[in-house]
Amino acid sequence: MAPYMLIRTLRANVLADPTRATCGHAASPRSSARICRGKFAVAAISDDYLPMRSIEAKKRTSKVDITSLRLITAVKTPYLPDGRFDLEAYDYLINMQIEGGAEGVIVGGTTGEGHLMSWDEHIMLIGHTVNCFGTRIKVIGNTWSNSTGEAVHATEQGFAVGMHAALHINPYYGKTSTEGMIAHFKAVLPMGPTVIYNVPSRTGQDILPPVIEALSSHPNMAGVKECIGHERIKCYTDKGISVWSGNDDECHDSRWKYGATGVISVTSNLVPGLMHSLMYEGENASLNEKLLPLIKWLFCQPNPIPLDTALAQLGVPRPVLRLPYKTLPLEKRVEFVRIVEAIGREHFIGKKEARVLDDEDFISICR
């Protein structure tokens, strides 16, 4: 039996009867503590849980390799009309990031629509990115989940296929206590370098400084992607904790006035070279002001809707969107083309002229 068929069969057996252990053996009391809710069955975390980690993987990257990155792009995932990944377009996007000066990419994050992927797709895309580009750019895989067991399992798989670091948020929707948050992050930190992402507008719960401070001494704690603002960033930088701005409209001042390491950016999908300049070439209020209309436009609706629209109008990926995302209305599509003209087409990725697409040009899929 092919390995992937065996895995699917074993998974089906466990889901059908949670008391069964793998390989058809009767479940011991310990194996019956297996959690089967979610996208795959995962082992319960106990005090003697051993992370599935590799010494060779640990040699490949370190926390210091991550904390030195100034520009990390939360990269878009493009699709074919039948809903599968458009790897040719994806590879082009990654190459554009490398050429533009980005030092890292977030794979399958919010911008990359990891929440719309199966775990098979998710881990495959992380592995593909590492295999094709891992010697030229750091690959940070989103392996978060609001289930601690699922987050541990996905993170193990992500590091096994070669990612350099993991991105994790606090459990969302089914929110937990401060102690629960700390325990959640402590369960995933042993796997490898980790960036914790604080975005209360999406998770519904702020990761307060005492949580980050409690985790900051862990050898794999690389830092925080912080969306609360400048004062929170300064709170961490004053304590020697690495922090990236999660707000493109604030990242210039966060970097040069409040001590942020850099930015984890959406805007750099479109203008990586200009975002690199913003993070590397000192204070530049003029460039920051020039980019603000684009940044404001990119967040006129929830991310990644505007970015999906923008890239399609630049002719880079096909205009295919996975539901529940739909394109921006016509007046916003027209506005984007004007913004491109104002900044200069030469600063944007792609070779085609920016153009206004019609409603019927966009394909919505629910795969």
Annotated catalytic residues are: 197, 225
237: exposed, middle or buried (Cβ count in 10 Å: 0-12, 13-18, 19+): middle
What is the DSSP code string of 177-195?
Answer: -HHHHHHHHHHHGGGS-EE
Cis previous bond, 304, omega within 30: yes
- The candidate with the shortest Cα–Cα distance to 36, out of 65, 73, 11, 67, is 11
Q: What is the spatial distance between Cα 99 and Cα 105, in angstroms, rounded to a whole number?
A: 13
Q: What is the spatial distance between Cα 175 and Cα 345, in angstroms, rounded to a whole number?
A: 44
Residue 98 exposure: Cα atoms within 13 Å on the Cβ side? 15
Q: What is the spatial distance between Cα 154 and Cα 142, in angstroms, rounded to a whole number?
A: 9
Beta-strand pair 363-365/262-265: unpaired
